[in-house]
Amino acid sequence: MRDVPLTGVERFFDDNDIIVSKTDLKGRITYANQVFLKIADFREAEVLGEPHSIIRHPDMPRCIFKTLWDTVQAGHEIYAYVVNRTKGGDHYWVYAHVTPSFDAQGRIVSYHSNRRVPDRAILESQIIPLYRQLKAIEDAPASRKDGLAASERAIADLLAEKGLAYDEFVATLAA
């Protein structure tokens, strides 16, 4: 799928729809609902067992995904705006709520994500400009590792300036 060029075409889903997926601890998809399959243009058999990054859009800053994974692997939930790509190279924005699932002993056994239609005004005024800035910072160094470190510093500096944790920052955008 990564060989499929991006189309620049944005797709939308209904305000009442919820995209749902579940993964194992390594991020491999174990469940995808029909809304997920429809908007991403996949059949269930094409995504089950595949890494969730199968829908990762290259414009999405890696530092946001790192924050997301660090948070859920630490046992906490997180809300994040994410741009995903479809099988055919289109894209769609979501407001994701990702949570770890625990067994009876309190161990994380999987991850669950519900994605809703994001607030368009927040996307255009806050998220898209921020993600473009983070992506530019990330792509500037020759090394991907150095780029990720630089974008992590940039988002940490932004949060420190606002005196907020990442989830608090995202929550303030909707206020």
Give the pLDDT confidence of 105-162 residue by residue, as tens digits.
999 999 999 999 999 999 999 999 999 999 999 999 999 999 999 999 999 999 999 9
Side chain identity, residue 158: L
pLDDT of residue 55: 95
d(C-alpha 125, C-alpha 81), whole Å: 13
Place of tokens 């089950």: 48
Mean pLDDT of all residues in the chain?
A: 95
**Does the structure show a pLDDT above 70 at 173?**
yes
pLDDT of residue 162: 93
The residue-averaged pLDDT of 59-87 equals 95
What is the rounded CA–CA span in Å between residue 113 and residue 153? 26
pLDDT in tens, 19-31: 999 999 999 999 9
Instruction: Tell me, rounded to whole angstroms, the distance of Cα 136 from its chain centroid.
Output: 18
Residue 165: its pLDDT value, please?
87
Contact 34, 55 (CB under 8 A): no
Residue 167: pLDDT band with limits 50, 70, 90:
confident
Share of the chain above pLDDT 70, in %: 98
pLDDT at residue 1 above 80? no
Give the mean model confidence (pLDDT) for residues 23-43.
97
Provide mean pLDDT across the span 44-72: 95
| 115-120: long-range contacts, CB 8 A cutoff, minimum separation 24 | 115/18, 115/19, 115/20, 115/82, 116/15, 116/17, 116/18, 116/19, 117/12, 117/13, 117/14, 117/15, 117/17, 118/81, 118/93, 118/94, 119/95, 119/173, 119/174
- Asked whether residue 2 carries a pLDDT value surpassing 70, the answer given is no
Looking at the chain, how many residues does it have? 175
